[in-house]
Amino acid sequence: MPKVLVVDDEEHIRMVCEEVLKSEGYEVVTVATGRGILDLIEKEKPDIITLDIKMVDCNGLDVLVQVRKKHYNLPVILCTAYESYKNDIKSIAADAYVVKSFDLTELKKKIKKSLEQDSNRLEEKRKLAKDAYKKRVQKVKEHLLELVDKIEKGKSIPIDELEAFFEPEKREKQMNLKEFGNLTADIIHDVKNNLTYIWYITKDEKNELLQDIAKRSEQALISLDKFRHLTIRLSPKFDKVDFNKFINKIVTSLTSFMKLTLKQNFEIETFFDDAIPEFFVEKRQIEQILFNLLQNAVEAISNHGVITIRTEMDEDRDYVKLIVKDTGLGIPKENLSRIFDLSFTTKGKGYGIGLFLVKQAVDILNGKFLVESEVNKGTTFYISIPLKRQEHADKT
């Protein structure tokens, strides 16, 4: 039985990975930090590592370098929410790269493929990566020495030459909106990790002040997670999926996560229309929709409640409907037209971001939405997603 070592500082990610990978027949060991990774490898002797990049106390790329120095043939898969890190020179030493998602299909494929790779091919690949890294480092050193030599000799250096040398820094300073979003996401990630640590060391304390700190930290973590979705803007990528299976996986993962973090008493019922064929969707947007609608439903339930998630094919077979219904407090009629506006909220807390993100995701899918609600009885969201998307199918 192959052993997978999962290194990630987010508890719910470790929980989901452990559950899913064990169901695939792997032995799984999870840790929250990359510190002491070499000793852990000696102790556990994993066959493969999945490694988060941005962690609260270390950088996963630095951990990768440590692993490569001593365990040259051990497969490592980088897992992170930030797609830009695969452009970092250190990341070429990894065997694969996966953008984090509630759907672990891609991660499972990469693990299986990495384990099945011939050891000679892996060694050759890493040798080429190592040589490329050495050549790039040597080129930078030579260029730097040339600049230093010119400065020492009192020679002028054209501004274009300096800009060419510092091109990465120049590009970073001349940010467009997407780059600014990525930087903001980095900051949010760092703040979130520090808040997680504060929450963890105070959550079980009896002191009233420490309990208040833990509660406020937990609320801030939920808010930051929503802001993170506002800042990350990746290019849409449409994949052909079994929609019912995909929805069921997301719901299963989100349910355990929300019961752990939101501490509400609720049940979830699911009903899937077997007539829905496989079709092309942007999976990240579906995750976005479900995460926010499910969290919205949970927060609307005061005591015990039921959340129903249903898929349906429409009568004309042009759209697939995703329906999320709760038995919560409901939304007053006068507020229904404003619930998708950014910053609008009736909860007395939060920032009014969740449903704004839902509308944004539906727009990206070229879909439609409808809301029905009755005070003290509950709310139902109908999300209609186009079944035919031939232009994306051709590109995929």
Tens of pLDDT, residue by residue, the chain (396 residues): 889 999 998 888 888 899 999 999 999 999 999 888 999 999 999 999 999 988 888 888 889 888 887 887 789 999 877 666 555 556 667 888 888 877 788 899 999 888 887 455 556 666 766 676 677 667 766 766 676 666 566 665 555 555 555 444 444 444 444 444 555 555 565 566 566 657 666 767 777 777 777 777 766 766 666 555 554 445 577 889 999 999 998 898 888 767 766 667 788 999 999 999 999 988 888 988 998 899 888 888 877 889 999 999 988 889 999 999 999 889 898 888 888 876 667 665 555 577 888 888 898 888 999 999 999 899 999 999 998 864 444 443
Q: Single out the residue in 82, 102, 117 at which a domain terminates.
A: 117
Q: 76 φ, ψ to 5°?
A: -135, 130
Same domain, residue pair 108 and 139: no
DSSP state of 72: T
On whether both 72 and 148 belong to a single domain, the answer is no
Domain containing residue 58: CATH number? 3.40.50.2300
What pLDDT does residue 168 have? 46
97 and 17 share a domain?
A: yes
Q: How many CB atoms lie within 10 A of CB 20?
A: 19
Establish how many alpha carbons lie within 13 A of residue 232's alpha carbon, considering only the half-sphere containing its beta carbon.
24
Q: What is the DSSP string of 349-367?
A: SS-S-HHHHHHHHHHHTT-
**Residues 161 and 92 grouped into a single domain:** no
The answer as to whether 139 is a domain residue is yes
219: in domain: no
- Phi, psi values for residue 290, rounded to 5°: -65, -40
| Residue 13 domain flag | yes
> Is there a domain that residue 240 lies in?
yes
What's 336's domain CATH number? 3.30.565.10
**According to the model, what pLDDT value does residue 347 have?**
63
275 and 380 share a domain? yes
Q: How many CA atoms lie within 13 A of 127 on its CB side?
A: 6
Residue 181 lies in a domain: no
Domain assignment present for residue 16? The answer is yes
Tally of domains in the chain: 3
- Residue whose tokens read 């989100």: 254
Q: How far apart are the first and last CA of the chain?
A: 34
* Domain span at 55: 3-117
Q: Do 52 and 156 sit in the same domain of this protein?
A: no
Asked whether residue 111 falls in the same domain as residue 136, the answer is no
Q: Which helix (H) or strand (E) holds 310?
A: strand 304-313
Last residue of a domain, one of 48, 83, 117: 117
Give the integer Cα–Cα distance in Å for 263 and 74.
40
The burial class, CB within 10 Å (0-12 / 13-18 / 19+), for 30 is middle
| Contact (Cβ atoms closer than 8 angstroms) between residue 236 and residue 281 | no
Total number of residues shown for the chain: 396
CA dihedral 214, 219, 225, 228 (to 10 degrees): -100
Q: Domain boundary at 117, 150, 180, which? A: 117
The total of other beta-carbon atoms located within 10 Å of residue 262's CB is 15
CA distance 346 to 349: 8
Name the phi and psi angles at 234, rounded to 5: -95, 155
Domain co-membership, 146 together with 82: no
Domain match, 242 and 390 both: yes
Please list, residue by residue across 149-184, b when 16 or more beta carbons sit within 10 angstroms of its beta carbon and e when fewer do: eeeeeeeeeeeeeeeebeeeeeeeeeeeeeeebbee
Q: What is the DSSP letter of 54?
A: B
- For residue 129, the model assigns a pLDDT of 66
Do 300 and 160 fall within a single domain?
Answer: no
- What phi and psi, each to the nearest 5 degrees, are found at residue 387? -75, -40
Residue 104 sits at φ, ψ, to 5 deg, of -95, 15
Angle at 226 between CA 30 and CA 191, to 5 degrees: 60
Look up residue 302 and give its two tokens: 């005061």
214 located within any domain: no
310 lies in the same domain as 387:
yes
307 in a domain, yes or no?
yes
pLDDT of residue 113: 87
Say yes or no: 79 and 110 in one domain. Answer: yes
CA quadruple 296, 302, 303, 306: dihedral sign: negative
